[in-house]
Amino acid sequence: MERVTLGKTGIEAVRLGFGGIPIQRLEEREAVEVVRYAVEKGMDFIDTSRMYTTSETRIGKALRETDRRVTLATKSWSRTSDGIQKDIDISLRELGRDYIDIYQCHGVSSMEDYRLVTAPGGALEGLHRARERGVIGHIGVTSHSLDVLETVLEDGLFETIMVCYSFLEPAAGDRIIPRARAKGVGVLAMKPFSGGVIEAPETAMRWILGCPGILVLAGVEQKRLIDQNWLVFEGDWTLTEADRGAIESIRREYDRKFCRRCDYCLPCPEGIPIQMVLGGRSFMKRMGIGILENPNVAETWKRATRCTACGECMTRCPYGLPIPDMIRENIEWMDAFRRGNARPD
């Protein structure tokens, strides 16, 4: 069972961790059982968020039902010192702990956002205060933006990063992961199945586990899937001929319709966070409609309507995605979803 040390934090954990998003969708008892099952199987790293509605509470309940020692990471979308400290206190209560190993700034999606977080009175200051109080151990950041993560690594203000990584969106493998490891920043890899787009989970697992020095977070809501991932984790990660064929075919299928979250298309003159809009359906599937009440999510969709179809972004997208058309389709889908006429797919 391979373990990894998360950079200079010194935290050591099994390389396959538990992602706390999907358990929101279950009945409470079932969710608690799933978390307990994962922990007793051997997973000793759990990541969740203040944003994932019931997730922290359910994880807290599950951990009270087992003696296993688990490293906990959670996060907050608050961008202010006072706001994130309030969220930390809520997280401590929900998780039933007096200490959280890693607390992260959640979803820092643009340089503007990064400046807010790191400015005086921003969330980073609140995280330092919480660490001085002894209620958190380490400070991390999560982002879908490789540009933001490059700056994070340059500035050296965070001890861990969380980045999207899979064979459909492998850019972090060149741009982010080697630099983070060289600087002693712990790497948490999210979305190993690209938010549910990859329908070859065993292949995706072998592919990502083959990248050394990172902790992979897989969000699962069924014991069967925990077993499936664990079997791969304990096996040989060498890609088979069938794996290579599946990777080629999935990459081909999604070549012109899957956003790899690389941000090469930015900046958009209308300030549209393009990758957030293009990934909107998969996001809604994982988070549920309640997430539309989150001001940042609401703002993302509002900005999307400002697209003038100028095409500037398309000249920069290395994958040739028809971005304005995809934005328009996603807005139409979201309107139907709000009216109850569409399902997340």
Q: Of residues 310, 325, 329, 332, which one binds ligand SF4 by CB under 6 A?
A: 310
**Phi-psi group of 160: left, alpha or beta (phi > 0 → left; psi -120 to 50 → alpha; rest → beta):** beta
Which of the stretches 19-27, 212-220, 268-276, 290-298 binds ligand SF4 when contact is defined by CB under 6 A? 268-276
Residue 263 is a binding residue for ligand SF4 (CB under 6 A): yes
Residue 321 is a binding residue for ligand SF4 (CB under 6 A): yes
Give the DSSP letter string of 261-328. Answer: ---TTPPPTT---HHHHHTHHHHHHHH-GGGGGSHHHHHHHHHHTT-----TGGGT-TT---HHHHHH
> Least distance in Å: CB of 269 to ligand SF4?
6
Residue 317 is a binding residue for ligand SF4 (CB under 6 A): yes
Q: Of residues 237, 312, 322, 328, which one binds ligand SF4 by CB under 6 A?
A: 312
Under 8 Å between Cβ of 204 and 211:
no
Note the helical H segments in the chain: 28-41, 55-64, 81-95, 111-118, 123-133, 146-155, 172-175, 177-182, 201-209, 223-234, 241-254, 274-278, 280-287, 295-304, 323-338
| Torsion angle defined by CA atoms of residues 158, 164, 170 and 173, in that order, rounded to the nearest 10 degrees | 20
Q: Is residue 161 helix, strand or coil?
A: strand
Under 8 Å between Cβ of 194 and 169:
yes
Residue 325 is a binding residue for ligand SF4 (CB under 6 A): no
Handedness of CA 236, 238, 242, 246 (dihedral sign): positive
Nearer to ligand SF4, 111 or 317 (CB): 317
Q: Of residues 61, 106, 260, 286, which one binds ligand SF4 by CB under 6 A?
A: 260
Which of the stretches 100-108, 177-185, 266-274, 289-297 binds ligand SF4 when contact is defined by CB under 6 A? 266-274
Residue 219 is a binding residue for ligand SF4 (CB under 6 A): no
Q: Of residues 268, 276, 284, 334, which one binds ligand SF4 by CB under 6 A?
A: 268
Which pairing describes strands 45-47 and 71-76: parallel, antiparallel, or unpaired?
A: parallel
Residue 30 is a binding residue for ligand SF4 (CB under 6 A): no
Residue 149 is a binding residue for ligand SF4 (CB under 6 A): no
> Least distance in Å: CB of 124 to ligand SF4?
25
HSE-up of 34 (CA within 13 Å, CB side)? 25
Q: Rounded distance, CA 226 to CA 93, Å? A: 27
For residues 48 to 77, the per-residue mask of contacts with ligand SF4, x marking binding by CB under 6 A and - elsewhere, is ------------------------------
Which of the stretches 55-63, 195-203, 265-273, 336-344 binds ligand SF4 when contact is defined by CB under 6 A? 265-273
Q: Of residues 307, 330, 333, 334, which one binds ligand SF4 by CB under 6 A?
A: 307
Which of the stretches 117-125, 148-156, 246-254, 261-269 binds ligand SF4 when contact is defined by CB under 6 A? 261-269
Residue 254 is a binding residue for ligand SF4 (CB under 6 A): no
DSSP letter for 36, please.
H
Q: Of residues 270, 288, 301, 303, which one binds ligand SF4 by CB under 6 A?
A: 270
What part of residues 273-292 is at the interface with ligand SF4 (CB under 6 A)?
Answer: 274-275, 278
Q: Is residue 137 helix, strand or coil?
A: strand
Q: Rounded distance, CA 82 to CA 127, Å? A: 10
Residue 144 is a binding residue for ligand SF4 (CB under 6 A): no
HSE-up of 228 (CA within 13 Å, CB side)? 14
In angstroms, how far apart are the furthest CA atoms of the chain? 57
Q: Of residues 39, 63, 141, 313, which one binds ligand SF4 by CB under 6 A?
A: 313
- Interface ranges with ligand SF4 (CB under 6 A): 259-265, 268-270, 272, 274-275, 278, 307-313, 317, 319, 321, 323-324, 327
